[in-house]
Amino acid sequence: MSNSKQLKNWPSNVQYTAKLHYSLPNLCRLIQEEVDSDRTKPQVIHYQPQSLVKIGSLKDFPNHPAYPHFGLFANKRIPPFTLILPYLGMVTPSNAADPSSDYCLGYYNHYAIDANKIGNEARFINDYRNVKDKPNVEFKEYIDKSSSQLMMGVFSTYKAIEKNEELLINYGKGFWKSRGLLQDDPSDKYLEHGFDFN
């Protein structure tokens, strides 16, 4: 991973981080104790930072829903079911999370990770709607082998992501509903399965 000084298109008002931060002093330990006592633990993965992604401008794509902002793009071909990078930010209890943040997602049972003010490249992943037919990445929890810490990862789905292709995820029903933008579409099978805390 890079620091913000080396990242093209990184916003000056957001702190770059290469690790999770916690809003409360004992929160990391409390989450770890919950995970240790959980019978269905997430998969243990040895994550090695790689330069699989880059932040790209969307100013040349006026029809993109996130125009004229930014997106996250593949630096090279990414195989299916690959851990691309962790989603990093500030971990809080979900009831203390900022409901107006566009960068907040559910984490474990009742926590949230917010990358609004501190985060990494994963905060630039846009929703797939009106860009592609379906998402090409998804959020999954995993345990980092080196730190034994519970993480939220961005994984490629069943299909490879080609070089320069935008990474697109499903923001979920709660995200759009909380912003008054939800239009129920019974044919949208991805609408129900987002990863947010609403």
Which tens digit of pLDDT belongs to each residue from 36-95?
888 888 889 988 888 899 999 999 999 998 899 999 999 999 999 999 999 999 999 999
CB atoms within 10 A of CB 102: 12
Which tens digit of pLDDT belongs to each residue from 158-196?
999 999 999 999 987 766 565 555 666 555 554 444 444
Domain ranges for the chain: 15-170
CA torsion angle for 183, 104, 16, 82 (degrees, to 10)?
-70
CB-based contact 70:7 (threshold 8 Å): no
**pLDDT value of position 49:** 82
Which tens digit of pLDDT belongs to each residue from 113-163?
999 999 999 999 999 988 999 999 999 999 999 988 999 999 999 999 999
Please tell me the class of the 15-170 domain.
mainly beta
79, 72, 65, 66: which is closest to 7 by C-alpha? 72
